[in-house]
Amino acid sequence: MNIGIQNSGHDGWDINVAIDSTGSPHVLAVDPSQFGSRNGLEYATFDGQSWTVETVGTGPLPYEFGSAIAIDSQDRPHIVWFDDQGQDLKYALKDEGDWTISTVDSAGDVGRYPSLALDQDDNPVVSYYQTLSETSCAIRLARWDGSGWNAQRIDQLDDVFPGFFGARKNSSVVVDPDGNPIVAYSDESVVKLAAWNGSAWDIQTVATADGDDLGQQVSLALGPQGVLHLTFADVSRKGGPGVIGKVMYARGTP
């Protein structure tokens, strides 16, 4: 079944979807400033008959820096994105019909390509990118502890190719049943996995580039018995008129 959500221009870039406890979809997408829109992030819900679309209140946003959505145990949407004007990582929660927006991290040019998970207490956990130079970045993690955000650096990547044909989702975070975050991340040379052990990060290499560049696109999921499922891109050509490569899959335990 295909049902159109919104068609008032260039809606639907960098799209994300999450499902609530009733099985209903919550969709997040950018209406990009590159095409003249001032809407920024748009949030859509479906009641079984029709879609309701609203703006989150981000102001104008480009399509290239990513966003993420998660639904908590009360079916409330949590959203993160990069504010390209302030170069900060932003967070929004919709509760009782209203969006509350706050800053997660403002340490330099920080917050591109965020990934979002919720822990067992519905606290948001975010992995994201901090720009260090044209070709290097730090992968960071921020966690809400109930009263404030705690942010820390996980690792550094030194072979980053950002932009439309480059890094778009170069980290992905999950939270294990004990509340410990696990983050997959990539540049063009390596895919790594970092697992928090309660006091430090245990970091291992999952894959290294073998002739072709890695695509800086990762997606991580946690299955039964703590098995991690990871997909990432292996690219044989980037740049116009398109990107050519293959999707790789890895599984294991941290």
**Domain extent at residue 83:** 73-88+109-252
CA 134 to chain centre: 21
The answer as to whether 60 is a domain residue is: no
Residues 6+ apart with CB under 8 A from 154: 127, 138, 139, 140, 141, 183, 185, 194, 201, 203
Can you give the pLDDT at residue 121?
97
The answer as to whether 3 is a domain residue is: no
What percent of the chain is predicted at pLDDT more than 90? Answer: 69
The answer as to whether 46 is a domain residue is: no
Q: Number of structural domains, the chain? A: 1
Can you give the pLDDT at residue 183?
99
Can you give the pLDDT at residue 210?
80
Answer whether the bond into residue 241 is a cis peptide, omega within 30°. yes
The answer as to whether 33 is a domain residue is: no
pLDDT(245) > 80: no
CA-only gyration radius of the chain, Å: 18
Which pTM was predicted? 0.92
Using pLDDT thresholds of 50, 70 and 90, give the confidence band for residue 5.
low
pLDDT(123) > 80: yes
The answer as to whether 201 is a domain residue is: yes
Can you give the pLDDT at residue 173?
99
The answer as to whether 197 is a domain residue is: yes
pLDDT(251) > 80: yes
- Closest among 152, 137, 108, 129 to 64, alpha carbons compared: 129
The answer as to whether 99 is a domain residue is: no
- Poorest-confidence range of 72-76, 139-143, 214-218? 214-218
Q: In this structure, is the dihedral angle defined by the CA atoms of residues 201, 207, 208 and 213, taken in order, positive or negative?
A: negative
The answer as to whether 4 is a domain residue is: no
More confident of the two residues 76 and 214: 76
- Closest among 94, 92, 116 to 102, alpha carbons compared: 92
More confident of the two residues 19 and 51: 19
Mean residue pLDDT across the chain: 90
Tell me the pLDDT tens digit for each residue of 163-177.
655 557 889 999 999
Using pLDDT thresholds of 50, 70 and 90, give the confidence band for residue 217.
confident
- Poorest-confidence range of 97-101, 105-109, 158-162? 158-162
pLDDT(130) > 90: yes
What's the whole-number mean pLDDT along residues 204-221?
87
What's the whole-number mean pLDDT along residues 174-199?
96
pLDDT(144) > 90: yes
